Structure 1
Amino acid sequence: MITERSSRRSQENSSGYGTDTRGHALRLDDVTKVYGKNGRGVRALDGVSVTIERGSYTAVMGPSGSGKSTFLHCAAGLDKPTTGTSYIGDTKLNDLSETKLTKLRRQRVGFVFQAFNLIPSLSVLQNVELPVRLSGESVDKAWLEEILTRVGLGGRAKHRPAELSGGQQQRVAIARALITRPDVIFGDEPTGALDTVTAKEILSLLRACVNETGQTVVMVTHDPIAAAYADTVLFLADGKLAGRMDSPTADRVAERMTHLGAWA
């Protein structure tokens, strides 16, 4: 069971943004996203370019309305940019049909949301293996057992979500995100519904996924303490990339947040 926080990756393996795409898990090239038409559109993202390397842990932060959720949606193939290009690995997402995007998300992207999004009628094991089943593929039983053990649910495989604590349900969600060995796991406020002790356990688990299995994690959060578990923090303000911080601490992140957008 992984509960202790692992040491942060070396600076050489931390994520970055720019034009270097060697070994990248995802990339946005000059991405703009506008909602609405007829001159009344809201520019949620405004020319964002970012490259996130494989095997890195990146937190995305910014004030309310800064574009964090839109960033995640465009990066994960949940939404298409108005202009610019988004990639998962070397796959260009812009030109994929909805059917192909759905297949890509099932096979190459993992999601961990604040609300867990588990199916109440399914067991832990069935929830975890669901993305593989939906893809029409056979489940690697050895990998499934390893994941359940890694997230501390080896003895809970037959339980249903209602029989688990909030922290255990989020562990199920993380295991489900890992089952397809995705290019990247996206977390959208994954600890927002948890108490501080449980949140620390979940953040440590995500950190261990990076350190021990080489997973790539991109997490949207409002919490400087959560962001401090990452290798790098990307800051957004008014839809623009407003900076980055390597080897973040909670205090440094909190101080930087007071100088973003309208808060500056």
Structure 2
Amino acid sequence: MIGRKGPAPVGGAQGQPQGEALRLDGVRKVYGAEDNRVVALDGVSLSLPTGSFTAVMGPSGSGKSTLLQCAAGLDRPTEGRVFVEGAELSGDGEAALTKFRRERIGFVFQQFNLLPTLTVTQNVVLPLKLAGRKVDRGRARTVLERVGLGERLNHLPAELSGGQQQRVAIARALVTRPRVVFADEPTGALDTRSARDVLVLLRESVQVSGQTVVMVTHDPVAASFADAVLYLADGRIVGRQVAPTAEAVAERMTHLAEEVERQRTMAEA
């Protein structure tokens, strides 16, 4: 297991290094019509400091992915506000929201979402092209070397392993120098060794570059790479754990799943 810095993390406990990276104020997300509503997020508020690595965990249906999508501006909350580095993800139109995301946010998903006809380098610089920014191939090479793919610049995705493709996806997320990187189950499709490599890279982006990482995961080992774990149940934050270990996270998840099941059974009785 790699070492941790001391910062921490959720809600500014132990001091906030260099300010606030992400804040959610009373975020609520409701899907469906009045007679068939699903409350995916139920008034979530949180504050994450710059330069922190936070894992988000919870039972199936707890609202993890919805939280990530609303925080990243991929989905709009029904109620509440989201701020990235003090700037609100506002409703000034889809074009303005897209520009905001490209300037401040990076994404890493379980599915690598690489374009199969583009080389590794071309995939990595694509966000710069889409944002109308200067394509700095030197920067792209540096980032790819940092993720261990300096010898794969002209390869196509099909010529890479799953772990290598995910590292390309991380390089693509980092090349624009985003302040916050959102990762949705980034190791879910990887073997154990590749998963650890990806987690080390995310950890290094925090420690070396001062970026902020928010990662949804179901894996206690992946969560143990974070500074802190946020636990969700039924769309609400129900706990947090600082400096987590895989064993402590697994135990917490077991008790949380049992408690959620017990409450749902009582509600249906």
TM-score bracket, normalised by the shorter chain, equals over 0.9
Determine which of 251, 259, 262 is the counterpart of 2:260.
262
Q: 1:17 aligned to 2:11?
A: yes
Residue in 1 aligned with 2:140? 144
- What is the aligned partner in structure 2 of residue 38 from structure 1? 34
Distance 1:247 1:41 in 2: 37
Contact 1:18 1:49 in 2 (8 A): no
Task: Using structure 1 for the length normalisation, give the TM-score.
Answer: 0.93
The answer (yes or no) to whether the contact 1:59–1:233 under 8 Å persists in 2 is: yes
Match of 1:182 in 2: 178
Deviations 1:178-201 (A, max 9, x none): 011001111100000011111111
Query: Relative to structure 1, is the Cα distance of residues 241 and 196 closer, same or farther in structure 2, using a 3 angstrom cutoff?
Result: same
Q: What's 2:188 paired with?
A: 192
Q: Which ranges of structure 1 fall in alignment gaps of 5 or more residues?
A: none
Are 1:207 and 2:203 matched, yes or no?
yes
Give TM-score, length-normalised by structure 2.
Answer: 0.92
Equivalences for residues 26-105 of structure 1 within 5 A:
26-105=22-101
Equivalent-residue separation in structure 1 for 2:129 and 2:90 (angstroms): 26
Greater displacement, 79-88 / 218-227 = 79-88
Write the deviation string for residues 132-182 of structure 1: whole angstroms up to 9, x where unpaired: 000111023332222011100111110010000000000000000001100
Instruction: Report what 1:163 is aligned to.
Output: 159
Structure 1 position 18, deviation (Å): 7.1
Amino acid in the other structure paired with 2:76: K
Structure 2 gaps of 5+ residues are 263-269
**Following TM superposition, where does structure 1 have runs of at least 4 consecutive aligned residues deviating by more than 4 angstroms?**
18-22
Moved more, 217-226 or 90-99: 90-99
Amino acid at match of 2:8: S
Alpha-carbon offset, residue 263 of structure 1: 4.3
Percent identical among aligned pairs is 59
2:153, 2:138 → 1: CA distance?
Answer: 14
Question: Alignment partner of 2:39: what SS?
Answer: strand
CA contact (8 A) 1:80 1:94 kept: no
Task: Give the alignment's Cα RMSD to 1 decimal.
Answer: 1.7
Match 1:113 to one of 66, 90, 109 = 109
Checking the alignment, whether the CA contact within 8 Å between 2:12 and 2:48 is kept in structure 1 is: no
Asked if 1 retains the 8 angstrom alpha-carbon contact of 2:12 and 2:49, the reply is no
The CA deviation string for residues 20-39 of structure 1, in whole angstroms up to 9 with x for no partner, is 98711111001111101224
Q: Is the 8 A contact 1:31 1:83 kept in 2?
A: yes
Whether contact under 8 Å (2:121, 2:141) holds in the other structure is no
Choose from 224, 233, 236 the match for 2:232: 236
2:150 maps to 1:154: yes
Mapped to 2, the partners of 1:48 and 1:94 lie a distance apart of 17
Stretch deviating more after TM superposition (92-101 or 124-133): 92-101
After TM superposition, give the deviation of residue 107 of structure 1 in Å: 2.1
The range that moved more, 208-217 or 159-168, is 208-217
Deviations 1:50-96 (A, max 9, x none): 11111111000000000001000110001111111111111111323
